[in-house]
Structure 1
Amino acid sequence: MEWIIDLLRSHSELAIFLTIALGFWIGRFKIGQFSLGTVTSVLLVGVLVGQLDIKVDEPVKSVFFLLFLFAIGYKVGPQFFRGLKKDGLPQMGFAVLMCISCLLVPWILAKIMGYNPGEAAGLLAGSQTISAVIGVAGDTINSLNISDTEKVNYNNIIPVAYAVTYIFGTAGSAWILASIGPKMLGGLKKVKAACKELEAKMGNTEDEQPGFINAFRPVVFRAYKIENEWFGNGKTVDELESYFDANDKRLFVERIRHKGNIINDINPSIILQRDDEVVLSGRREYAIGEENWIGEEVFDPELLNFPAEVLPVMINHKSYSGKALCVIRKEKFMHGVSVRTIKRAGISIPVFPQTIVDQGDTLELVGTKKEVELAAKELGYADRPTNATDMIFVGLGIFLGGIFGALAIHVGGVPISLSTSGGALITGLVFGWIRSKRPTFGYIPEPSLWVLNNVGLNMFIAVVGIAAGPSFIAGFEQVGWSLFIVGAIATTIPLIIGLLLGRYVFKFHPELILGCTAGARTTTAALGAVQDAVESETPALGYTVTYAVGNTLLIIWGVVIVLLT
């Protein structure tokens, strides 16, 4: 055991990876619907490992934190700037007002309780579940004109206050928005009815606008032998597809076997005759059972052996940005192509005919390789999966952000700046928006973005926990259990304010109020709880713009609350 302790002390990098491994493992466990989450688990394990008095070099923490902040900005950048457009301004205004309450409420409570800047920052970080505040506030504290001892004490108390308040910050937010929220908006039954009403307006009915599917409704390719007398002396491909369309089935002819020969190049005028074999593509529920009308389904490996593709496409052509899916569907190039999913700022949104497509959205298209690639060319940029990250883009972005953040103005002799971390967040926003406009460069694959985001943050948190370990228990005794109650109040009041703002000031749809409130607080867990409660995906429509604004402002508040306190 002594050998292991000495090894960890002399090789602090091993202590960090041990903390990450145990923290991610503990973060998997759930008690009912509650989980500590990865970040809190890593922090607490770091505190435990830190009892061994392990010293970690400061640059390690900063490097991972900058990677995390740049990744956050890159991810939400397109939606942040979309909020500046006319149709996004109401949601952006809502998010700004709610974020202000997320700052003022913890700050007022901190002043009442007499908390120091570190305790106030930890209260903000935990009660609003914005872990990045730990780093941003720490950078700001280090720039204050105070003694080194005070800087260390303030920085060490931040993770303690965060850990105490984060539990209710996460679980409480989900409970408030999923249980109390619908009651404040007229009752759960009324909110569910409003969700169904919005879904109906957007075309989510059994008999309207086929061809728009969720991930659990895959596109299939099936072959049938034509036996129905309806075909008589022959019907064209166009007549067959029009027949399907008239019967609310969006199915496409992809391939034909005529007199033993396979026809690959399908055009609307080709004649289909009895005893021909035809491959249809479309939603599973529409394709299955066609043997009851066309004829028997056949197993023809040669006929079905052709390239089909699932292709993510980033929308960046202005002619289709701001258009509803039902409008895009009518374009000639969408023949044979279905939309499986839509992601906005990494969040899946409902795939309804009236869903508006924004620049920077990623649509997952399904169809034959030829048809999908044609649609991708018209809509925007084929975002094919790749392992390569544009590290020139990432490195330059963080470098420029650091320079911008390091610039300071002096007020009363006190230097005020965004710090290098805040600068990395801002350039991440700008670079993410640029990439949505010019997607030929600056690509960060989703797995890489996950690593930059999650590993970057948790590496930072691990180092914070290890550094705070020796003083954590004393710090916990300092803040006491009263901080948990204060944190619960700091979590609850902004959420209530958000619900009231959405209902009486902005007059949003009830489900959008819930989504906007969850987004402004950047609590994805609460969004999932709300969607389960109202049995609808529509709250996600209010989540993305407010999530982008919340992620930006709440992190910056880490600077502000230290200066205010």
Structure 2
Amino acid sequence: MDYLHLVLNQSPELALFLSLAIGYWVGGIQFGKFQLGGVAGSLLAAVVISQVGISIDNGIKSVLFALFIYAVGFESGPQFFRSLGRQSLREIVLAAVMALSGLATVIVAARVLGLDKGLAAGIAAGSMTQSAIIGTASAAIAKLELPLEQIQALQGNVAVGYAVTYIFGSFGAILMCVNVLPWFMKRSIRDDATRAEAELLAGARVYGPGEQPATPPLVGRIYRVAQAAGKTVEQLETTPQSANAAALTIERIKRGGALVGVAPDTVLEADDVVLVVGRRAGVIAMAERLGPELQSYPDMDVVVVQRDLTVGNPAFVNRTVAEIRQEANRTLRHGVYVVGVKRAGRPLALQPDTVISSGDMVTLYGTPDDIQRVAKQVGTLIVPSEKTDFVFHGFGLVVGLLLGMIVVRLGAIPLTLGSGGGALIAGLAFGWYRSRHLTRGNLPTPASTLLRDLGLAGFVAVVGLQSGLQAVQTIATQGISIFLVGVAVCIVPIVITILVGRYVLRYDNLAIFAGAVSGARSANPAFGEVLDKAGNSIPTVPFAVTYALANVFLTLLGPLVVAFA
């Protein structure tokens, strides 16, 4: 034990990564339908490792959590700002119910068991995982007309109650949001998240890594010219099957073993081999007009790409799709196909009356040369990159951390977003800005996933390493009663909030409900597990709203507990 103590204190990062490795291994074990999960597993592993006595800097915890919450906000910024308004009233009520039920539970427990004001406030801070309560409660205790020794003893009890109950405050919230809530709703977080995403995407299918449709809408096929001999390229590209003259394109012609230049007035001859690229229906129908299809032919392969560009040319802004199609010349449209249009990350239906706005992202399919030609006239091409824009995101984190330092006083009660709340607000704002200016702020999905996973799991592991030894020692010396009260204060408000949310506020989608509940409880580890189960960002918007409110509502519990306990 002494050797472990020496090694882990000389290199506390060993304890951190050991907690992550063991935690994710334990968290992946399936017990029937129950699975602990990597975040909760890391927390428990860290508590066990902390028993050797470890000192780890508090700044590591702050940095890891800021990275996690900023990445979450950045991914969800566009969706969050679209969701603000009257539809957020449910989240406001849910956060208020959580805070009020937590206050009532603490006060009842304190009066029934005869707990002093300091211990009651510490239990509230730990069980509700809201560290700001420690500060507001200690400040309120300092104003009590009591002897200095008694005030100091009460303030010390705040820390004791917090240390004993914080571990289960984090762990219990995970169990309730990830295991109990799905059991109560009799549905899966992943299924409801997928359903909500499909509704958000207006029926558009999003394919995961390595996935592609078995029948792609855009195809290329090779034909040998027979019945089309004597016709020009322009005559064949203007198909009767489609009102869109660019439904297909003849990309390559080979005649007598040599490639022939393709122009609108090029006349096809018998036995020419042509490559036709375009929309499936038009390309398949060309067999009747051209001749027999060939499976392959030398030199007939053309590289096509799918690229995004943002609309910036005023000639295409605030115009309907029908107007753009009618006025855009054939040269501009030739060989390029619009796959989809998104606005602030949300797909738009390509109907004739759909209005295109500045900054809309258009996904194009075609050869690199054709797409470059269109980009020069329409807007800015977004070049795929695996590099992170550290200037943009570094500045975003600085802004968030500065916001977290701002303190507004409500009488004697200091209210602040804290570093986590500030980073979340900055992430949301910078994510929204990125959706409007897609050439800035690149953050590849794998990089964002690493920030979220490592940031959250590392944060809870540091919490376990810092608080685990003191919590276990306090339980051993003062009995388990404080811990059990903390369990009640953790569970009861969540149960009340779930019941109100389900039967009064009518939450129906489990992924949205779980995100809102975890935010209302300021339960970041629980939210991380919910996000992992969802497999997309659907839970983030309700979490962001309730989490911001919880930072205010739960902070106010400190002086209220001191006043009424």
Task: Tell me, yes or no, if the aligned pair for 2:51 and 2:468 is still in contact at 8 Å.
Answer: yes
- Where does residue 406 of structure 2 map in the other structure? 407
- Where does residue 541 of structure 2 map in the other structure? 548
- Where does residue 434 of structure 1 map in the other structure? 433
CA distance in 2, matches of 1:266, 1:122: 74
- Where does residue 245 of structure 1 map in the other structure? 242
Residues 459-478 of structure 1: pairs in structure 2 closer than 5 A: 459-473=458-472, 478=482
- For the residue of structure 2 that corresponds to 1:422, the secondary structure is helix
- Which residues of structure 2 form unaligned runs of 5+? 111-118, 142-154, 190-194, 519-526, 559-565
- For the residue of structure 2 that corresponds to 1:386, the secondary structure is coil
- Where does residue 9 of structure 1 map in the other structure? 9
- Where does residue 255 of structure 1 map in the other structure? 251
State the Cα distance separating 1:302 from its structure 2 match. 2.0
CA distance in 2, matches of 1:564, 1:28: 36
- For the residue of structure 2 that corresponds to 1:500, the secondary structure is coil
Residues 128-207 of structure 1: pairs in structure 2 closer than 5 A: 134=129, 137-139=130-132, 141-142=134-135, 144-145=138-139, 147=155, 150-151=158-159, 153-154=161-162, 157-176=165-184, 179=187
- TM (norm. structure 1) is 0.70
CA distance in 2, matches of 1:327, 1:33: 55
Q: Which of 308, 312, 317 in structure 1 is aligned with 2:304? A: 308
- For the residue of structure 2 that corresponds to 1:562, the secondary structure is coil
Task: Tell me, yes or no, if the aligned pair for 2:316 and 2:324 is still in contact at 8 Å.
Answer: yes
- For the residue of structure 1 that corresponds to 2:134, the secondary structure is helix
Task: Tell me, yes or no, if the aligned pair for 1:253 and 1:266 is still in contact at 8 Å.
Answer: no
State the Cα distance separating 1:310 from its structure 2 match. 3.4
CA distance in 2, matches of 1:316, 1:139: 46
State the Cα distance separating 1:162 from its structure 2 match. 2.0
The one-letter code matched in structure 2 to 1:81 is: F
Q: Which of 216, 221, 242 in structure 1 is aligned with 2:212? A: 216
- Where does residue 59 of structure 2 map in the other structure? 59
CA distance 1:225–1:477, change in 2 (3 Å): farther
CA distance in 2, matches of 1:240, 1:285: 13
CA distance 1:438–1:483, change in 2 (3 Å): same
- Pick the structure with greater CA Rg: 2
Kindly report the root-mean-square deviation, in angstroms, between the aligned alpha carbons of the 2 structures: 4.9
CA distance in 1, matches of 2:279, 2:184: 38
CA distance in 2, matches of 1:357, 1:524: 36
Task: Tell me, yes or no, if the aligned pair for 1:519 and 1:547 is still in contact at 8 Å.
Answer: yes
Task: Tell me, yes or no, if the aligned pair for 1:169 and 1:491 is still in contact at 8 Å.
Answer: no
- Where does residue 496 of structure 1 map in the other structure? 502
The one-letter code matched in structure 2 to 1:78 is: P
CA distance in 2, matches of 1:358, 1:367: 23
CA distance 1:300–1:17, change in 2 (3 Å): same
Task: Tell me, yes or no, if the aligned pair for 1:251 and 1:336 is still in contact at 8 Å.
Answer: no
Task: Tell me, yes or no, if the aligned pair for 2:73 and 2:426 is still in contact at 8 Å.
Answer: yes
CA distance in 2, matches of 1:356, 1:376: 19
State the Cα distance separating 1:470 from its structure 2 match. 1.5
The one-letter code matched in structure 2 to 1:10 is: Q
Q: Is 1:564 the counterpart of 2:557 in the alignment?
A: yes
CA distance in 2, matches of 1:321, 1:23: 52
Q: Is 1:295 the counterpart of 2:303 in the alignment?
A: no
State the Cα distance separating 1:286 from its structure 2 match. 8.5
- TM (norm. structure 2) is 0.70
Task: Tell me, yes or no, if the aligned pair for 2:91 and 2:546 is still in contact at 8 Å.
Answer: no
State the Cα distance separating 1:172 from its structure 2 match. 3.5
- For the residue of structure 2 that corresponds to 1:275, the secondary structure is coil
State the Cα distance separating 1:497 from its structure 2 match. 4.9
Task: Tell me, yes or no, if the aligned pair for 1:95 and 1:516 is still in contact at 8 Å.
Answer: no
The one-letter code matched in structure 2 to 1:245 is: S
The C-alpha deviation readout for 1:114-165, integer Å capped at 9, x for no partner, is 59455545655xxxxxxxxx4xx22553464263552364255223122023
CA distance 1:75–1:152, change in 2 (3 Å): farther
- Where does residue 187 of structure 1 map in the other structure? none
CA distance in 1, matches of 2:288, 2:323: 32
- Where does residue 509 of structure 1 map in the other structure? none
CA distance in 2, matches of 1:58, 1:112: 33
CA distance in 2, matches of 1:316, 1:141: 51
- Which residues of structure 1 form unaligned runs of 5+? 125-133, 182-191, 205-211, 503-512, 532-539
Task: Tell me, yes or no, if the aligned pair for 2:456 and 2:528 is still in contact at 8 Å.
Answer: no
The C-alpha deviation readout for 1:12-64, integer Å capped at 9, x for no partner, is 11111111222333444445665333322221221122122211111111122
CA distance in 1, matches of 2:58, 2:249: 62
CA distance in 1, matches of 2:38, 2:326: 44
CA distance 1:46–1:256, change in 2 (3 Å): same
State the Cα distance separating 1:528 from its structure 2 match. 10
- Where does residue 130 of structure 1 map in the other structure? none
CA distance 1:445–1:374, change in 2 (3 Å): farther
